[in-house]
Structure 1
Amino acid sequence: MSRTALLVLADGRFPAGGHAHSGGVEVAVAARSVRDGPTLGAFCRGRLHTVGLTAAALAAAAAAGCDPLVLDEAADARTPAPALRATARKLGRQLLRAARAAWPCEALEKLARDLPGGAHQPVVLGVAVRAAGLTTPDAAHAAAFDSVSGPATAAVRLLGLDPFDATVVIARLCDDVDAVVRRAADAASRVADEGVGVLPAASAPLLDITAEQHAAWPMRLFAS
C-alpha cells in the first residue's frame, strides 16, 4: 500500500475535473449566505455532515469490494436532484479516465464497460482507491476531504477570498472530517451483511434546490 497514492487522489491537480465545480458554493455566494471565512466554514461543515457523509460511505463501500452497479443505484436513490445526478456522473467519467491511466486494472475497465454513461463519482473513487492498493477508510477520507476542499477552493475565486482564510476553514474541519470518515467506514463494513440500505442517506435539500437553479443560469463561473 502506498500512502502517496492517497495524496495523488486527493490532490486538486489530479485531472478529475473537480476544479470546474463549486459544490454549491457559487449559488451560496450569490445569495450572500457565504460571504467570508466564517460563513464558508459553516457551509462546508454542513455539506460535510450531509452529502459529504453519504459520498464517503459510498466510496468506502466501493473500496471494500461491494458491487459498483448496486452502489451506483444506491447513489442515484440518494441524489434526488437531476442536476446533481448529472454532475456526479460527469465527474465520475472524468475521474475514471484519470484513474484508468494512473492505476490500470480490470476493475476500472469493467466499470467503464458496465456504466458507459458514467458512474457516480464516489463509486468511481472507491474503485480507484481499491485499484491503487489503498483501504476502505482511505476512500472515505478522499471523499470527505473532497466535499469541503472543492467548495473552499471555489470560494477563493468567487469571493476573492484570501487563500489563507480558505485553508483555515479546511484545517478547522479536520476533526469533523475524521468523524465522518469513521461513520462512513463503519457503515461500509456492514454492507456485506446488511445491504446498501445501511449506508447513510444524509441529504441537504437546499443544495438540491439551488443545484437546479444554478443549472438554469445563463452565465456562471462553475459548471455546478
Structure 2
Amino acid sequence: MNTPSGSAGRAALLVLADGRFPAGGHAHSGGAEAAVTAGRIRDARDLAGFCRGRLHTSGLTAAALAAAAARGLDPLELDEAAEARTPSPALRATGRRLGRQLMRAARATWPGPGLDALAAARPRGAHQPVVLGLTARSAGLTPEDAAYCAVYEAVSGPATAAVRLLSLDPFEATAVLARLVPDLDRVAARAAGYAGRAEREGTDALPAASAPLLDITAEAHAARPVRLFAS
C-alpha cells in the first residue's frame, strides 16, 4: 500500500525529480535544440517564452497523465491516451524510449507489482508520463507530486539544454526556471484536478493540450544527420 506523502515521500520526490536520476532525460532537449536551430531561442528571454509555452501545452497533458497513473487508473488505458495525444511519430518514439529507461531506473529504485505488470505488457516501453506516475505511486508519492515531477521536467530539460546549445549562463537558465514557479504551481494543480475527473469520467476527461510546432519541428529534428540531442 502506498504511504501518504510526508517527510519520506518528499525525499522520494526530490530523488525522482533530480536531473541525475538515471531516466535518460539528459539526452533530450524537449524541442529546444530544434528551436535554437530555427532561431526561435537566442537568449534567456526566448527560453522563458519557449518553456512557458511548453509547460501550458504538452507539459499540462503529460502532468495529467502522470497524476492519473499515480491515482491508480489503468496504465494501459493511459498509455493509449498518451499515444492519441502525441501526433508526431518522432515524439511517440521518444516518449516510449524515455519510458523504457525510466522503467529500468524505477524498478531498481522503488520496485512494485504495478511497474512489473506495465513492463511486461509494454516491453518496448510505455509512454514516459504513465511510467512516471506509476513510479511516483510505487515511491509512496501523491498524484500532485507526480504532476509536479512532470511539469518540472517539461521546463528543466529545455533550460539545461539551452546552457549547452547557446553557452547560456547557467545562472540565467536557473533564473528562468525560478520565475516560472507560479506557472508550475498552477499547471500541477490543474493536472491533478484533471486526474481526479478522469478517475470519475474516464481518460477522455484528460486534457489534450498540444503544441503543433513542437510536433512539426520534432519530425525535422529526427531527420537531421547531425544533432547534439536525440529530441
Q: Which interval holds the TM-score relative to the shorter structure?
A: over 0.9
Deviation, 1:117, is 1.1
Letter in 2 for 1:199: L
State the distance in 2 between where 1:32 and 1:142 align. 29
Letter in 2 for 1:146: E
Letter in 2 for 1:95: L
Tell me the equivalent position of 2:120. 113
The percent identity for this pair of structures is 70
* Aligned pairs (5 A) from 1:117-136: 117-136=124-143
State the distance in 1 between where 2:62 and 2:184 align. 12
Pick from 189, 211, 215 the counterpart of residue 204 of structure 1. Answer: 211
TM-score by length of 2: 0.96
Pick from 39, 48, 65 the counterpart of residue 32 of structure 1. Answer: 39
> Structure 1, residues 164-211: CA drift from partner, whole Å, max 9, x if none?
000011000000010001110001011121111111100000000000
State the distance in 1 between where 2:230 and 2:51 align. 19
State the distance in 1 between where 2:40 and 2:131 align. 32
> Structure 1, residues 89-146: CA drift from partner, whole Å, max 9, x if none?
0000000000000001111111100111100000000000000000010000000000
* Aligned pairs (5 A) from 1:141-152: 141-152=148-159
Q: CA RMSD in A?
A: 0.5
Unaligned residue ranges in structure 1 (runs of 5+): none
Pick from 60, 65, 74 the counterpart of residue 67 of structure 1. Answer: 74
Tell me the equivalent position of 2:161. 154
> Structure 1, residues 25-44: CA drift from partner, whole Å, max 9, x if none?
00110111100000000000
Instruction: Determine if the alignment matches structure 1 residue 83 to structure 2 residue 90.
Output: yes
Whether the 8 Å CA contact 2:194–2:206 is kept in 1: the answer is yes
* Aligned pairs (5 A) from 1:180-199: 180-199=187-206
Pick from 206, 219, 224 the counterpart of residue 217 of structure 1. Answer: 224
Tell me the equivalent position of 1:57. 64
3-state SS of paired residue (1:190): helix
State the distance in 2 between where 1:55 and 1:176 align. 15
Unaligned residue ranges in structure 2 (runs of 5+): none
State the distance in 1 between where 2:155 and 2:43 align. 15
Letter in 2 for 1:29: V
**Shift >6 Å, 4+ stretches:** none
Deviation, 1:74, is 0.2
> Structure 1, residues 54-100: CA drift from partner, whole Å, max 9, x if none?
00000000000000000000000000000000000000000000000
State the distance in 1 between where 2:216 and 2:198 align. 30
TM-score by length of 1: 0.99
